[in-house]
Amino acid sequence: MARPLRGPASVRPGLGAGGVLGAPAPRTPAAAGARRRAGCPPASASGLTLIEVLVALSILAFGMTAVLGLLAAASAVHRAATDRTDMALLADLAFARARAALTYGLRVAELPRYAGPAAGGRPVHALAEGVREPAYPDLSYDLLLTPIDAEDPAAADVFHVEARVRRLERGRERLTTFHTVMVRRLARRDLAVAGPP
């Protein structure tokens, strides 16, 4: 009785290397040639088709477009919020100046009348017009006082104070208005409590 040969020549159909069931079959040049003749790609070939590459690129382009759109919108919102904050800070500075002027005996009746539009029919006096601050070079403001409790500004103690802040944007002027009410007597009382500077 002949003994079976060991090695690749001993592989029987259905068995792997060394006659073991389930072991990978050896890769011989004859097997690779048979796969090529059958029209199959080589066993080691792995890659993407052109359609798969185009689909991946289109998904990537769509995602990048969405991200850039979000960045542009976020930048515009940030710019608007920064502009509004700068205007509010400048208006607060203007109100502080008005409060100091009322505290230290400002004679409102001697201020010039405001030439711009005014509401309420009462005389509007301009404490400052077209003022620019070095910290906000693209902003200017008008500071207006309107007596509330008396027709005569000299006898008034309560004032409507308005800061009209302007920004020049792309050749157009953008106006934002801030309002507050100041009481001259309270300002004098605060000064008396605090003492002279």
Q: How confident is the model at residue 148 (pLDDT cuts 50, 70, 90)?
A: confident
Cα–Cα distance for residue pair 4/10, rounded to 1 Å: 7
- Angle 184-194/50-103 helices, nearest 10 degrees? 80
- 2 residue type, one letter: A
Average pLDDT over the chain, rounded to an integer: 77
Q: How confident is the model at residue 185 (pLDDT cuts 50, 70, 90)?
A: low
Highest mean pLDDT among 46-50, 76-80, 123-127, 188-192: 76-80
Cα–Cα distance for residue pair 126/114, rounded to 1 Å: 5
Q: How confident is the model at residue 172 (pLDDT cuts 50, 70, 90)?
A: confident
Relative to beta strand 158-169, strand 125-133 is: unpaired
